[in-house]
C-alpha cells in the first residue's frame, strides 16, 4: 500500500529510541498517522513541528497498518512564528484541535484547505479573528455549524449579540435580554459589526470552545486540548 499527498504536521511523538509516530492532516487521506524512522534526530525534529507543511509518502503492507512516512519539507510555518509566543500557541492549538476532532483516515479536504488559509492568516494583523472563524468552519465541517445569520427568536437581525447554547443560533439583544445569563456572547466581528480585538476574540474562543466541548470532545470523554486552553487564557474575557 502506498500513497503521496500534501500534508500539515499535527504532532510527532517519540517511539522507541529514535523513531517518532507522526500525525498529519492530508488533503486526500484526512488525519493520518505513520512511523518516521529517525524521527527524533535534530534534522527530522525540525521538519515535524506542528503546523509545518510537507509532501508525504506513506507505505504499509496492509491498508489498516500504521505504516511509515517519508516527508519532504515545504514550508516551515512554526519557524516563522517562533518569536511570537501567542501566535505559536494558536498554531499548536489548531494542530491539537484538528488531531483530536477530525476522524482518523476520513478525507476532509475542506479542513485541510481551511488550515492552509489559517496558516497564511497567522502572519497577518487579524490572525486571532481568523483563528476563531477557522474553528467555526471546523465545527460546520463536522456537522455542528452555528447559525449566526438571523435571530432564532424573531428579533432584529441588526442587533445579534447572543447565541443559544442549546440550538447554536443567534439571538438579538431585545429577544435575549431576559435570558442573558443563560446565553453565550456573540462577538461583533462574527455578526458583521466591528473588526474584532482581544475582548471579542476572547468571546469568540469561549463560544467555539463551548460547542467543541459539547458536541465533539465530551462524547469522547475528553476536554479541550491543553494547547487550546492555553490560547484562550491569553485573551481577556469581558466581565458579565
- Over residues 59-88, the mean pLDDT reads 94
Is residue 238 scored above 90 in pLDDT?
Answer: no
pLDDT in tens, 38-53: 999 998 999 999 999 9
Helix/strand/coil for 58: strand
Tell me what the pLDDT averaged over the chain comes to. Answer: 94
Distances (CA, A) of 4 to 55, 114, 150, 197: 7, 20, 43, 40
Write out pLDDT tens, residues 180-209.
999 999 999 999 887 789 999 999 999 999
pLDDT tens-place string over residues 159-186: 899 999 999 999 999 898 899 999 999 9
Give the pLDDT score at 7: 98
Mean pLDDT of 127-147: 97
Check whether 240 has a pLDDT greater than 90.
Answer: no
Q: How far apart are CA 104 and CA 119, in angstroms?
A: 22
Average pLDDT over residues 58-79: 95
The pTM (predicted TM-score) of the whole model is: 0.94
- Whether 155 has a pLDDT exceeding 70, the answer reads no
The domains located in the chain, with CATH, are: 2-80 (2.40.50.140), 99-148+186-233 (no CATH)
Question: What pLDDT sits at residue 236?
Answer: 86
Residue 137 region, left (φ>0) first, then alpha (ψ -120 to 50), else beta? alpha
- Gap between the Cα atoms of 204 and 91, Å rounded: 17
Amino acid at each position: 500500500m502506498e500513497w503521496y499527498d500534501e500534508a500539515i504536521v499535527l504532532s510527532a511523538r517519540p517511539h522507541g529510541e529514535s523513531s517518532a509516530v507522526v500525525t498529519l492532516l492530508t488533503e486526500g487521506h484526512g488525519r493520518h498517522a505513520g512511523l518516521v524512522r529517525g524521527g527524533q534526530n535534530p534534522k527530522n525534529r525540525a521538519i515535524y513541528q506542528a503546523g509545518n507543511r510537507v509532501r508525504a509518502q506513506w507505505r504499509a503492507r496492509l491498508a489498516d497498518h500504521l505504516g511509515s512516512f517519508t516527508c519532504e519539507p515545504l514550508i516551515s510555518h512554526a519557524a516563522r512564528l517562533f518569536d511570537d509566543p501567542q501566535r505559536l500557541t494558536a498554531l499548536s492549538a489548531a494542530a491539537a484541535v484538528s488531531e483530536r476532532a477530525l476522524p482518523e483516515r476520513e478525507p476532509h479536504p475542506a479542513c485541510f484547505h481551511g488550515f492552509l488559509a489559517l496558516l497564511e492568516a497567522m502572519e497577518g494583523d487579524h490572525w486571532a479573528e481568523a483563528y476563531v472563524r477557522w474553528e467555526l468552519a471546523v465545527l460546520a465541517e463536522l456537522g455542528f455549524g452555528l447559525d449566526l445569520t438571523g435571530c432564532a427568536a424573531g428579533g432584529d437581525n441588526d442587533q445579534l449579540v447572543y447565541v443559544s447554547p442549546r440550538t447554536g443560533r443567534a439571538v438579538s439583544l431585545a429577544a435575549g435580554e431576559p435570558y442573558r445569563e443563560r446565553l453565550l456572547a456573540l462577538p461583533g466581528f462574527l455578526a458583521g459589526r466591528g473588526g474584532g480585538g482581544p475582548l471579542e476574540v476572547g468571546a469568540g474562543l469561549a463560544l467555539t470552545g463551548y460547542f467543541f466541548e459539547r458536541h465533539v470532545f465530551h462524547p469522547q470523554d475528553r476536554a479541550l486540548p491543553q494547547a487550546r486552553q492555553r490560547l484562550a487564557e491569553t485573551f481577556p474575557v469581558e466581565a458579565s
